[in-house]
A and B are shown apart, each in its own frame.
Chain A
Amino acid sequence: MTETRETGGGGTRPLLTVRDLSVQVATEAGAKTVLDRLSFDLTGGETLALAGESGSGKSMTALAIMGLLPKPMARVSGGAIKLGETDLTAMDERGYRKIRSARVAMIFQEPMTSLNPLMTVERQLIEVLLEHEVCRRSEAPKQALRLLKDVRLTEPERRLKQYPHELSGGMRQRVMIAIALACDPEILIADEPTTALDVTVQAEILDLIRTLQAEHGTAVLMITHDMGVVAEMADRVIVLRHGRQEEAAPVRELFAAPQTDYARTLLAAVPRLGSAPARPQAEARKKIVEVDDLSVRFDITGGILNRTIARVHAVENVSFHIRERETLALVGESGCGKSTIGKALLGLVPWDGSIRVDGVQTRGRSRAMMHPVLRDIQMVFQDPGASMDARMTVGEQVIEPMRVHGLARGSELQDRAEWLFKRVGLSPDMLSRYPHEFSGGQRQRVCIARALSLSPKVIVADESVSALDVSVQAQVLDLLQELQEEDGLSYLFISHDMAVIDRVADRVMVMRLGQVMEEGPRDAVLRDPQHPYTKRLLAAVPVPDPTRSRPAMPDAAGIEEASPIFPVGQSPQRIALHDLRQGHRVARVAATTP
């Protein structure tokens, strides 16, 4: 496999030529075209981004090139895919096996599910190497180690012997990239490679892909919904919508002067860090939620007697308050305890400390005693598809909370549901439909209507827009804003997305490993961050502007590697916050290490 490539990497002749590619999917109503006459060329060393929202056909393109379209539901109905001189559309499964990995490799969104959980990293790497006869069996372990070093995995010797579950999300994606690059392919297809990762990890992985691309001269086909990633990675962009090409342009031209309406709206909808309008100064309104010294710990049991052997300190001594009509944003990477705080507020996890909602202490309340509190505080979850019961009409689900709390009955319920639907911008005659008949954005509106049905004072929005396309995301954020202005709602807005938080928050609280690192008014925290962790988070956010390169990420100085799991009897060191000015409070930076 190390022989010369006929097409020659880095040359001007395209490695991959796609002409009039159409893909059809069989549905109840007959064949539906999900990709309509798409054409593009990919030359060595360049990065082409396929950008678009869900249902735009971008993933279908990747699967069609890889010959992985789900059979028999989807098929290539027309056009040609040429890899060098070979026509891939005419290729059978046997022929494809020689091409996948060897000449065209793919990395997927979810690194956990793409790796085999029962095999060590080494075996998975060796399997690819041997399958494509890259090297002899005796050399394979050495080759595998070299690949892991290539993707800059720390402690590569140890990683080889580990299983996927022992690695973090970023490490897994590095392993996936190592596997993809094992046979030194001409083309790397990356399907949303960083969507499931934290923002700092995303920045590292994108850097890695770029470096490797420069070293190997690989052509990259980047599939993403994130215009920030597009701006950062791509040389050229194709904007797709409903399976059609809307616009194709070099990246700078597209961002500077989009030619089509769709590209313009898409780019306008992208939240940009630092561009959000100032929010009205909240004067000292009533505190609606007061949290003092909140701690949530989960026991890890083990041994034959199922004793507690360790505890996950998910949340440690967190205190905060939310005022009327105020949005407090909780930000942090996965596992920092931000969602746990939301659940604790609704009494969904056991906790210690003090939580008062509208002056009512909720500690020690049973589920039944929580009822009156739950009328004041409700939650909107991340995935609107998963948070709705697929077997109930949406109307029933919006009515359900009112039934549970005995707020209304009979036709009153129906009227109230209709009113709520209008309130969130849905038509009341959709009430009798089932969740699967709605789009993602509409579903999230239904979830918001459901949360509103009890007329709460506070809504906990747990990553409520993360699963939505950017244009839909913007609409849902507008809706939340409007509800706040008109009904005086307060939000606890939990998110990992700095740009979204910039748009909605009055105050921001940055969390890490269950503790608050920095907290204060939005402008203070996001424009003038003091803690190194906040700085790192902000620097990692991709900038949706190809002319401005993202500032180099500050290294992890002052941010020690740590885990929130402690043996019984031990606790993490309590981090004290000191006040800078006007409620901008920052954790003291690792005083122990000079």
Chain B
Amino acid sequence: MSVATDPAARPRKPSRARVVLGELLRRPRAAFGLIIIALMVFAAVFAPWIMPQDPFAQSFDGLDLMGAPLPPGGDYLLGTDLLGRDLASRLILGTRTSLIIGVVANGIAVLLGAGVGITAGYFGGWTAAILMRFTDLMMAFPALLLAIVLAAIFQPSLMIVALVIAMVNWVQMSRVIYTETRSLAEREFIQVQRAIGSGPIRILFKHLLPHLLSSIIVFGTLGISTTVLLEATLSYLGVGVQPPMPSWGNIIFENQTYFSTAPWLVFFPGLLIVLLALGFNLVGDALRDILDPTLKGRH
């Protein structure tokens, strides 16, 4: 990265977001990740128009003479499930559920965890004692039990699942960020900010947060695949997405017992979960490098 050397002709800077996006697209791996994410978002938004078949129709054509599901190929691109429903269509529709869980619920967990961790880490003392004891409490609380209780009180729905996942998954993030913030807050450049007279909000968000981004990104992307699978567990228990509504997780769970006879029913949704996590991971890694000026020029 060369730096503009002529102070007189200071060009108007393009917006930060555009610069970052441009950098992302220049890196092959990051661009690949972006394409995956874009395709999935597209599938989720336009699902009704791009589904090849009705995902809920249980047709006799979808089963062979013995009543077994059809393998991929022929009329059904990715084969059919045990009830003769088109797997491809169900996966496309399931993208909606899985994206909401993996991105929105996980995103809330990340924000919550990072927020609690950074606050406790910077202020220390009583603030930290209360926040971190609460974190430990949540960590010890069984997620499944919480989900079942909530589902019993309210209608079982995707929102409940998202809520439970957000409530359960922020704790690890909070722990990691807390420890990191504590060591960062002792560093001299934070001391300097205090000497200048910067307030806590400014120090937290302008000076501490950028240094924590890499941990947040790594933990955030790791969380995507675990939360997608956690959703499947919860749906399996009847707490979350109700059949016949598909999600990648519940497709795997419904069919795992038939893995040896109909492997495609587990393989394709599994592949999609891996791709989703991979996509976010690649973009996250690249973002971390782009946002760290000390790594400029290295790939």
Contacts and interface: CB of A to CB of B under 8 A. Distances in A.
A391 B198 contact: no
B191 A381 contact: yes
B197 A387 contact: no
A378 B197 CA distance: 10
B189 A386 contact: yes
B118 to A, nearest CB: 15
Contact of A433 (B3, B6, B192): B3
B293 interface: yes
B5 interface: yes
A387 B6 contact: no
Interface residues of B, number: 28
B199 interface: yes
Contacts of B297: 28
Interface stretch (A81-89, A264-272, A399-407): A399-407
Contact of A401 (B197, B291, B293): B197
B294 interface: yes
Contacts of B211: 390-391
A374 B291 contact: no
Given A391-B210, A391-B291, A374 B298 contact: no
B192 A418 contact: no
B293 A391 contact: yes
B189 A388 contact: yes
Interface stretch (A150-158, A317-325, A364-372, A554-562): A364-372
B111 to A, nearest CB: 20
A404 B296 CA distance: 28
Contact of A432 (B3, B193, B199, B291): B3
A450 B197 CA distance: 13
B27 interface: no
B191 A387 contact: yes
Contact of B196 (A368, A400, A418): A400
Given A374-B197, A378-B195, A405-B197, A389 B207 contact: yes
A429 B5 contact: yes
A367 B196 CA distance: 11
Given A432-B3, A436-B294, A389 B197 contact: no
Contacts of B194: 346, 348, 367
B189 A418 contact: no
A402 to B, nearest CB: 10
Interface string B1-27: 001111100000000000000000000
B110 to A, nearest CB: 20
B187 interface: yes
B7 A367 contact: no
B133 to A, nearest CB: 14
Contacts of B294: 390-391, 434, 436
15 contacts: A28-B298, A371-B197, A374-B196, A382-B188, A387-B188, A387-B191, A388-B192, A389-B189, A391-B291, A391-B294, A429-B5, A432-B3, A434-B294, A447-B192, A450-B192
Contacts of B4: 429, 432
A368 B199 contact: yes
Interface size class of A (residues with CB under 8 A): 35 or more
B292 interface: yes
B13 to A, nearest CB: 9
B293 A436 contact: yes
A73 to B, nearest CB: 13
Nearest to B299: A28
A383 B189 CA distance: 10
Contacts of B292: 391
A428 B7 contact: yes
Nearest to B196: A401
Given A28-B298, A367-B197, A387 B192 contact: yes
- Among B5, B187, B194, B297: residue with most chain A CB under 10 A: B194
Contacts of A346: 194-195
A379 B196 CA distance: 8
Contacts of B6: 429
Nearest to A447: B192
Nearest to A391: B210
Nearest to A428: B7
Interface string B254-292: 000000000000000000000000000000000000011
Interface string B168-206: 000000000000000000011101111111110010000
A383 B7 CA distance: 29
A379 B192 contact: yes
Contacts of B195: 346, 348, 374, 378-379
Given A386-B187, A386-B189, A401-B197, 18 more contacts: A28-B297, A367-B197, A371-B197, A379-B195, A381-B188, A381-B192, A387-B189, A387-B192, A388-B189, A389-B189, A390-B293, A391-B291, A400-B196, A401-B196, A429-B5, A429-B6, A434-B293, A436-B294
Contacts of A437: 3
- Among B6, B7, B197, B211: residue with most chain A CB under 10 A: B197
A404 B197 contact: yes
Contacts of B197: 367, 370-371, 374, 401, 404-405
Interface in A472-491: none
Contacts of A388: 189, 192
Nearest to B213: A391
Contacts of B191: 348, 381, 387
Contacts of B210: 389, 391-392
B289 to A, nearest CB: 12
A127 B180 CA distance: 34
Given A391-B293, A432-B3, A404 B198 contact: yes
B151 to A, nearest CB: 41
A267 to B, nearest CB: 32
Interface string B39-80: 000000000000000000000000000000000000000000
Given A387-B189, A400-B196, A429 B7 contact: yes
